Amino acid sequence: MSRILGCDPGLATGIAIYDTDLCTLTYTFETGQGIYGFKPKFKELMGGLSNPYGITHFACEGFTLRSSNKFTADLSGVEIIGWLKGEGYWGKKNPEPFQHMSLTKLGEKDPKGDSKVTKLMKQQGFKIGKGHTRMAGSVAIWYASKVLYHEPTLELLKPKDS
């Protein structure tokens, strides 16, 4: 069993837990206030030695400033990534937005209802909101498929034959 905590860092940070046994999201949450809202929630979820949510892996969306980014002056995501690196949580397997979004079919060109993540969230009764938790779920599912090579998750992502 693996439970992957996915994170979409920013001023509003999305957090989601994906359970590979159930092939579904079991938890979603959105924090506000950048690093100040994220840190306590992250510490609660990771739970030190008790690990109350059974998290076995962590993945966070990366941030690379490019000319194509729709960049605004808020760098809360960069602060969160910096804190994660300082605390030793940042690994070498963290996707850029285009990597996880193309895998799970999130994005401006695809209707939101067609995304595998959106469908999972709706099945579990989670609110979509502004999409930060959806992005976090996408990061966790990307990790399950591209890092863990979890076959049931890979099957979940395959397009269905019409």
Q: CATH no. for residue 49?
A: 3.30.420.10
What is the largest distance, in Å, between two alpha-carbon atoms of the chain? 48
User: What number is the average pLDDT over the span 1-23?
Assistant: 96
C-beta of residue 144 within 8 angstroms of C-beta of residue 4: yes
Whether the full predicted model's pTM is greater than 0.95, yes or no, is no
Strand order in the sheet with 57-60: 24-31, 13-19, 3-8, 57-60
Asked whether residue 130 carries a pLDDT value surpassing 70, the answer given is yes
* Structural domain harbouring 128: 3-61+75-157
Output the pLDDT for position 8: 96
Give a yes or no: residue 126 inside a domain: yes
φ, ψ dihedrals at 80, nearest 5°: -65, -45
Q: Is residue 68 part of a domain?
A: no
Using one digit for the tens of pLDDT, what is the confidence trace for 60-105?
999 877 666 666 668 899 999 999 999 999 988 999 988 998 888 8
Domain annotation covers residue 54: yes
Residue 66 lies in a domain: no
Mean pLDDT on 48-54: 88
In a domain, 67, yes or no: no
Q: How many structural domains comprise the chain?
A: 1
**Whose structure tokens read 């019409």?**
162
